[in-house]
């Protein structure tokens, strides 16, 4: 298996983990007060948008030639850093 494919699989697994974390936040939001629900729903929407951006970056990476994927890797890393931070912040803020 190529380095590109291994990298893509690793990032896909992280996206799946973050999707599961967002699902947990949704479950917590359903049992929260109205004000907290509003705040959580806003954050969940933002996270879902960032996850979609991450999926788009992975798709772009998958479509890249074996020679070109290394140059796209920096953009993927930047998106991942932002997403990781956002998910971590939301999970910590809304932890029960």
Compute mean pLDDT per 10 residues along the chain, 96 residues long, and list them: 88 94 91 90 93 90 83 84 89 78
Burial 1-37 (b: 16+ CB within 10 A, else e): eeebeebbeebeebbeebeebbeebeebbeebeeeee
Q: What is the pLDDT of residue 72?
A: 82
Q: In angstroms, rounded to a whole number, what is the distance separating the alpha carbons of residues 53 and 56?
A: 5
Scanning the chain, the segments in alpha helix (DSSP H) are 3-30, 34-63, 69-93
Q: What is the pLDDT of residue 76?
A: 84
Q: What is the pLDDT of residue 96?
A: 58
pTM: 0.83
Q: What is the pLDDT of residue 64?
A: 85
């Amino acid at each position: 298996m190529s380095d590109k494919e291994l990298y893509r699989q690793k990032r896909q697994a992280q996206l799946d983990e973050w999707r599961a974390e967002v699902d947990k936040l949704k479950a917590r939001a359903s049992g929260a007060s109205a004000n907290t629900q509003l705040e959580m729903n806003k954050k969940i929407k933002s996270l879902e948008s960032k996850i979609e951006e991450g999926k788009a970056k992975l798709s772009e990476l998958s479509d890249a030639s074996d020679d070109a994927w290394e140059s796209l890797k920096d953009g993927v890393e930047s998106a991942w850093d932002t997403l990781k931070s956002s998910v971590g912040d939301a999970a910590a803020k809304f932890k029960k």
